[in-house]
Amino acid sequence: MKPRILLVNPPVYDFTAYDFWLKPYGLLRVAGRFRNRAEFRLFDFLDRLHPAMETPRKKRPDPFGRGPYREETIPRPAPLAAIPRRFRRFGLPRAVFREFLRKEGPFRAALVSTGMTYWVPGVRETLQDLQDLAPGAPVVLGGVYASLCPDHARTLGPDLVIQGDALKPLEEIVGLAPAGEDVPLWEAYPRLRTGVLRLADGCPFRCTYCAVRLLAPAHVPRPRDLVFQELDLLRKRGAEDVAFYDDALLAGPRDERLDFLERLASTPQTPRFHTPNALHARLLDEERARALVRAGFRTFYLGFESASERWQEGSGGKVSAPDLRRAAENLLRAGADANRVTAYLLIGHPRHEAQDLEDSLRFASSLGIRVMLSEFSPVPGTPDFEAARPWADLDEPLLHNKTAFPVFRLGGDEVNRFKDLARRLNERR
């Protein structure tokens, strides 16, 4: 008989959370490698199609499948007590998970996905319930928090913490050897409205605020046929919108990327595509812009962060103001909707003074596109994590919080001033 393995994507404890095409992609990819060797049960606390995911009627999903989670206000943790915002638990009720464990167990093992380092309270809640109601199942933590804060993760009491894709210890716990890479286990969801894809793992750039190089040191393409098999599975499962999780979607041999986009454009019944992890503006020439639009991409996010040359040179030199101008012009000429082209700009960075944030916001908005403030979160292992230490005790993962750290760095009034400016600039468009 095949072993029964539990997959869990925990709830989120945070000031804000919104389904921006969020899926536990790493967890599903690991499970896909054991496909047909085990019987899987998935409990995703953030599955908005679950019958128990009640959300306020005034908060409807947007046209591309994004939307709010069920939420409940809870007391702020002591390290975040000074932040004047409501703290909430997002996701399915705890009682629903506990009943799921009673009905679906026992399990050979429980694999728990982890996301942001400061979402640790949801992981702790999940482990408590597993220890209470599935005591015979070894608990394995993997994902971002487990990889970047392994020592802290071990204090929660799991049986195994996996860093990156080191799966050999997992094989020993589940008693199975994985096959080669297969498509993620999307069939674990009873219903799908949105999905995600990756063309490659890793990123060739080395931005000082980003941990991709720590999670995936090399930029490695996935087999092209496997990507299209995954797209076909997503389509059959009902996905109407698919977000590319690539950290460098346009990087790599230029002809290969163009060939991929042309093949995507010719694929029948293709979903709408989105780029929440941001496109590299420097790589967005006219031909790539036209290919993206033809292939069915509908939202375009551009990593910009700052127009300051001094700031860009000190953070990896990924993009410049002229790069952003050309990228925006190319997308708009190719037929992209200006309301769906957005430049990300960081707020709360340790080198804020060098960033010229107000001028950077005004410049990006002057290109006829939207601007969005991306709140800086100190990411363990990055140069900017160490630079952020003067403003917070970063040995406490809760203080990596993206809502909290900009307030520590700039003060609440200054953060609100920049947010109001971004809102006004978008409204003037």
| Superfamily name and number for 198-428 | Aldolase class I (3.20.20.70)
Q: Which one-letter amino acid corresponds to residue 118?
A: Y
Q: What is the pLDDT of residues 55-106, one digit of tens each?
A: 666 567 789 999 999 999 999 999 999 999 999 999 999 999 999 999 999 9
- CATH 3.20.20.70 residue spans of the chain: 198-428
| Residue range 4-174 in CATH 3.40.50.280 | yes
- What region does 40 belong to: left with phi over 0, alpha with psi -120 to 50, or beta? beta
Phi-psi region of 392 (alpha: psi -120 to 50; beta: other; left: phi over 0): beta
**Residue 233 corresponds to which tokens in the numbers above?**
């599975």
Q: How far is CA 172 from CA 5, 178, 346, in A?
A: 14, 11, 42
Decide if 256 contacts 209 (C-beta within 8 A).
no
At residue 236, does pLDDT exceed 70? Answer: yes
pLDDT tens for 269-292 read 779 999 999 999 999 999 999 999
Q: What angle do CA 203, 44, 126 make, to 5 degrees?
A: 100
Give the pLDDT score at 170.
Answer: 86
- Number of neighbours of residue 95 by Cβ within 10 angstroms: 10
- The dihedrals phi and psi of 41, each to the nearest 5 degrees, come to -125, 125
Q: Which helix (H) or strand (E) holds 311?
A: helix 309-315
Considering only residues 396 and 181, tell me which one the structure prediction assigns the higher pLDDT.
Answer: 396
pLDDT band at 267 (very low <50, low <70, confident <90, very high): confident
Instruction: Tell whether the model's pLDDT for residue 225 goes beyond 70.
Output: yes
Per-chain mean pLDDT for the chain: 95
CATH 3.40.50.280 range(s) for the chain read 4-174
Question: Quick one: pLDDT at residue 167?
Answer: 82
- DSSP element (H, E) containing 161: strand 160-161
